[in-house]
Every structure is written in C-alpha cells, then in structure tokens.
Structure 1
Amino acid sequence: MPVGKFSASTGPSSQPSLQERASANAKNMLVAGVDEAGRGPLAGPLAVAAVILDPDRPIAGLNDSKKLSAAKREALYPQIIERALAYCIVLIEPDEIDRLNIFQATMTGMSRAVAGLALVAHEALIDGNKLPKDLPCRGRAIVGGDALEPAISAASILAKVSRDRLMVGLDAIHPGYGFAIHKGYPTPVHLNALQQLGPCVQHRRSFAPVRVLLDQARLF
C-alpha cells in the first residue's frame, strides 16, 4: 500500500466484486471526484480523497463537507465507504507540505489519490480551478465542484472526516494546542498556544505564524 494512503476501496464481501460492479456499469464512465481538507491549518497533514460513486447505489444528502454539520458528515462517511465503487484517502504530512508548498502538496495528493483507486477512472473531477499535471487519467477542474458534483462532495466528506478524526488523535499526543477543537486552524486559541508552547512536530514550518516563531527563537 503506497505511503500516505490510509484507505482504499471496496464494499463488503457479500456484495459483487468491484470489477463485476464496474462491468455492470460499463456503459457509464468511471468518474472520480477529488477534493481535499486541510489546506489552511498551521498543523497536521493535508487529506485528499478520490471517490468513484456507484450510480446504482445513490447516497442522499451529499454536499460540500463545509456546509454539513459534523454529525451529518459522520453519518455519510460510512455510507460512502460502503457504497462507492472505489475510494482512496491520501495524507500529505507536514514535512512534505513544507518541502513542496501547500499548492504543490495539494496537486500531488490529488494525483496520488486518483492513482490509488482500486479501479482506473476514465476522468477525474477536481474541485477548484487547477488540475494536477500528472493525473493518471484526463481531468476536469470545477470551481465549487464540492457543492455541484456528488462524487466531489463524497470526496470532500471522506477527506474532512478522516482529517478531523486524525487531529483528535493528535490532540492526545500533543496536548495543549487544542487540535481536537480547532483541527490545526489558526484560531486565537491555537495562536496563543503556539506562543506559549512553541511549535510541535505537527506544525508546518513554512506557514508564516510558525515560521516567525522559529525565526525569533533563532535570534535568542
């Protein structure tokens, strides 16, 4: 399993195999929706998901993950996992974000997520206005796609829920920053904790509030 991939598709064994289900839908294009969660935080990984939905098993209530409550996202997450023809969730860790920059890290994560699908997509629908250069299939960028295309909505939910769960776990490993509450975003609570505690290994050194603190520490 490729580094950074934290899950990849398939339904329960009682269901038809992936290839059988794909063959049954051969008249349809295999279209992957792709989205990310965590571009703006100062800490924690970027999560990117790709999802190929099954047109014969629709999921009610899909929408941009930011427009859904946490409870609704958690309710939809297992439905997407169980009903999708294929899905893949990839994590880009802080050190790689710092090496690449957040834009290139996002493009890299999207390519990895599509390449990691158990089925080969004919097309990838990317939320936003930019396409990764090394997608393994043709791609189409859709501004606001997470609210327009169900497959992108599903990807946004998988990415958001996966990352939020991870940040709750990191809160126990790195107490005091409030990761479980703000998920690494630059809230006043987080910025105050950064001032008091300094950065931990999960902080993105290339992001300005963290970089400034590190630069100040080098001066004294």
Structure 2
Amino acid sequence: MTSAPVPTPVARRPWPFDVQAHRDWFRQAPEELMLVDALSHPGKYRELVDGEAWFSMMLPLLSRVRVESLAILDFDYEPLPYRRAWRVCGDEVLGVSDSVGGTHRAIEWMHRLWIDGRAIVDETGAPVELAGFSTWISDEVFVAEVPGPDDHPAQDFGPGGYPVILGLVVVDAGRGRTHVLQPAATERWTAPRLREQGGRWQVVASESATEPDRVIDPAG
C-alpha cells in the first residue's frame, strides 16, 4: 500500500506558496526566480550587502520581469491604463510601471527613478529625487513630482519634510531627453501636472487648474 505524501513544512518550502501555485507561469521565464528569491528573502542578502548593492543586483531583473509576476508576489497591481505594480520593501516603496503601449518601463525606488534601466539624473548628473505623484501620460512620456525650490516664496515643509511647492521631472523616453521643470517665484505649483495637447506640453499648477502656467514644445 502506497503511503500518502508528506506535505513539506512551511518553514522548509524553498519557494513561497504563490510561486509554487504558479509554477507553470514561472517555467516560461525561469530567470524571474532569481528576483523571486531576492524579494522573498531580502534578509539573507542584506546580511552581506547594503540596500544599494541589493537593488543594483535586482535592477536588471526588474527591467525584464513580467509585471504579472510581481502581482503573484503580493505587489499591488493595476492592469489599466498601464501595467503598474508596487510593494513596500523595508521602509521604501518599490514600484514598476510599463508605458501605455508597453514600450518603456519605469522603476521607482528610494525616491529615485530609472527608465528602461537607465538612472534619471538632472543637469548636474545627480539622481533626480521624486516627491510623490508619478505616471505615464503616453507610451513615451513619464512624469513625476520632484521637490520645488527651497527659496520659493511660497515654499513650506509639512510632515516628514515634504515640500508644499513642487516641480516636475519629465522623461521623454522616445527622444531620450529629461526635463526638470521648476516653478518661478510667481508660480504656485502644489500638485503640478503635465498635459499633452496639440503636440505641446502644458504644465498646470494642480489637477484642478484649467489654464496652463507654461506651454512647452517637446521637440525644442
């Protein structure tokens, strides 16, 4: 008489339950299992390397992973209008989002941004610091809030040092250009947004604003 199989104790399972349940899915892209291990057991990596090194190891994997695989790994997931997944990892939020047509990918981590695996930097070469809202507005243009100028007349800082006056970073992935836009002293950008209209970019001070503060030719 054949005895019943003995279940593997939870503590000894080599992979999380959800990965076991989707083994056929991961067999289609077995390289994703390296990312699964790094996300499921970050402690064993951080015993040997710091957070920056841990993320540098994951960046190439995050640049290729199917977003649906992140949903299996308990990332919050929005399939529309573009595929976006995010999860709290330690004290930070790790976010991955594909552009509307799936041509480009944004990765956000520790208030920093990568597009198609490339770190987004300002004109001085320093990493752009993110400060909140971010989104793809087309298949090629990614927009995110950044801190506004410290010396802006209306600048103030709320809980956690969060700035009241904000700027925008606009990444034109199609043209390979990055634009960091900051409000002038007369512009009060508290929740700036970028809109595309007639082949131009319009910068408005907030979601409720109807008139643009600036109109920009993206090809200029």
Q: TM-score, normalised by structure 1?
A: 0.30
Greater fraction of residues in helix: 1
Tell which has more relative contact order, 1 or 2 (C-alpha 8 A, sep 6+): 1
Q: TM-score, normalised by structure 2?
A: 0.30
Q: Which has the larger radius of gyration?
A: 2
Greater fraction of residues in strand: 2
